[in-house]
Chain A
Amino acid sequence: MKRVYVNEQWCLGCHLCEYFCAFASTNEKDMARALKDVRISPRIRIEEKDGISFAVSCRHCNEPLCVKSCITGALTKVNGIIMIDRDRCIGCYTCILSCPYGAVYPSEDGAIQKCELCIKTREGTPRCVTGCPNGAIVFEERGE
């Protein structure tokens, strides 16, 4: 299955992936208008220190601790993609306590949010991947 992978040596630390991610979950056509004056809450996040930077988003683990630990059953793995049913999530954050990558985040409305490979928002390639100016984030099959 195709997943998002990160090549740290090519990451510029520009944070554009975060903006494209936040934009992908809006219904706006224009990115500048959609995100102007908005404090974004993206599902992919850059870690950076001393000139090193890289993006972290859900790994869609084969043995997903977040799904196994979810107390409501709101997190499920469907066709290889870990999905959140925000209507059933009550925001206990057990998934945040469980994720070894730090890739699950709270959201404004109390439910958690995480990368779902943009399948709820648009077809094809996730926006963080198409928006990365240096090919540091790729969407590809790397064999199971």
Chain B
Amino acid sequence: MKYVIVGNSTAAVGAVEAIRKNDTAGSIVIISNERYHVYSRPLISYLLMGKTDENRMKYRGDSFYSDNNCELMLNKTAVRIDPDKKLVHLDDGTAVSYDRLLLCTGASPVIPPVPGLDKVRNRFTFTTLDDARALNDALRENSRVLIMGAGLIGLKCAEGISKRNVSISCVDLAPRILSSILDDESAEIVKRHLEEHGIRFYLNRRVTEFEEGTAYLDDNTPVRFDVLVIAVGVRPNISLLKDIGGKTNRGIIIDERCRTSIPDIYAAGDCCESMDISSEEPKVMALLPNAYMQGECAGMNMSGVDFVFDRAIPMNSIGLFGKHIMTAGTYTGDVYCETRHGSCKKLFYSNNRLNGFILVENTEKAGIYTSLIRERTPLDTIDFELICKVPGLMAFSRKTRAEKLGGVRGGATNETIGA
């Protein structure tokens, strides 16, 4: 069996580790358009902060590829799949044959169509190690940095460079920061915290035009900058599959076994769209935990073991200047709310199920809330009033507790089927 994986990040690692549980003989080829050993992408902001380094940010140890008997092809871009001949064509004119193919091509930063943007010289995106290196080299003492986008990537970038004696402004179309994961009230708490750390926000604002060194906002405010970071969002890299008629929407559409619509081609990670069980809607959930688990699921099925991953939900844990924020699921239904100075807890529930939560600080044991969403636990089987106040196993029945604390399985419920 010959496995080919396009992409060399989290989902690829999940797939390799799963394949090697079932098949130690088959060959695995990994094709990467980067030049690095697998590293953790979210750590690039910590790299700029000096909290990690290029060695410690490796997602797996130096011997990962040799231990798992993988052939790693760096600096190669897959440009076309031939599903009939089962070939992946590369940008150097060569082709790699496969029996089972996994696409974990990730997502690419969106560059908004703003007049004059193409003429801005010190312009960066912030999703790869090369991005971080380039930004790092461009920063000078007293650089004025403008970040387009007050989402996870933009704000982690802001934190990453904040100790560098630079001034940071952040502009976003949305009326609040972290608009995809926070509501107005929680966003305001986090925004105040960031402002206390010197970050200036222009919210509900669009950049209408760039001139070298100046961004003009839609209320005509000019914002001067030396360095521009574009972090308005990412777009799944779907073209390899789309070009051969595979089913795509915003992302590559996969089923609960991480199969695409084309035989023997699987997909996992940020390039995919899959079912969010908290909202029961298909979504791109470009999150590292889902990438690993989808990669693992794909790897299991590619190596002949029937395996289902049907527990994906949006979930984020993010620290910003010492304040921890955790969110998961969907914010619909009734709300249990505790708000204190600088912290906030909101639990969203309906139809006897927890749908989602927002925690600013108060993050202890948050995984218990996550598990209620992931497992779709009927809330009338637990002491919901208690668990709202204090997440704990106490809220479960004595029998369930005995299973949880005395049982031997534990963890994810996506089990191997019929193995």
Contact = CB atoms under 8 A, between A and B. Distances in A.
Interface of A: 3, 5-8, 47-49, 52, 54, 56, 59-65, 68-69, 71-73, 87-88, 90-102, 104-105, 142-144
A62 B40 CA distance: 24
Contacts of B375: 100
Given A56-B393, A88-B52, A96 B411 contact: no
A71 B328 CA distance: 16
Interface in B42-71: 42-43, 46, 51-52, 56-60
Most chain A beta-carbon contacts within 10 A, residue among B43, B371, B405 = B405
A89 to B, nearest CB: 10
B319 A56 contact: no
B312 to A, nearest CB: 12
15 contacts: A5-B405, A6-B405, A56-B393, A61-B409, A61-B412, A65-B412, A71-B289, A73-B60, A93-B363, A94-B317, A95-B367, A97-B326, A100-B368, A102-B364, A142-B406
Interface residues of B, number: 55
A65 B375 CA distance: 13
B56 A100 contact: no
Interface stretch (B125-133, B184-192, B394-402): B394-402
Contacts of A52: 394
Contacts of A98: 289, 315, 367, 370
A52 B397 CA distance: 12
A72 B411 contact: no
B409 A92 contact: no
A21 B406 CA distance: 20
Contacts of B394: 47-49, 52
Interface string B69-108: 0000000000000000000000000000000000000000
A8 B292 contact: no
B356 interface: no
B392 A92 contact: no
B142 to A, nearest CB: 27
A92 B318 contact: yes
A93 B317 contact: yes
B14 interface: yes
Contact of B391 (A49, A61, A102, A143): A102
Interface of B: 14, 40, 42-43, 46, 51-52, 56-60, 288-289, 292-293, 296, 315-319, 324, 326, 328, 363-368, 370-371, 374-375, 386, 391-394, 398, 401-402, 404-415
A8 B367 contact: no
A92 B392 CA distance: 21
Contacts of A49: 386, 394
B405 A99 contact: no
A20 to B, nearest CB: 18
A118 to B, nearest CB: 18
Contacts of A94: 288-289, 317
A96 B415 CA distance: 22
A71 B14 CA distance: 12
The 8 closest A-B pairs by CB, nearest first: A61-B411, A102-B365, A61-B410, A100-B371, A69-B289, A63-B412, A63-B411, A99-B367
B366 A73 contact: no
A9 to B, nearest CB: 9
Given A8-B398, A8-B402, 4 more contacts: A59-B405, A63-B410, A97-B370, A100-B371
B406 A69 contact: no
B406 A6 contact: yes
A137 to B, nearest CB: 10
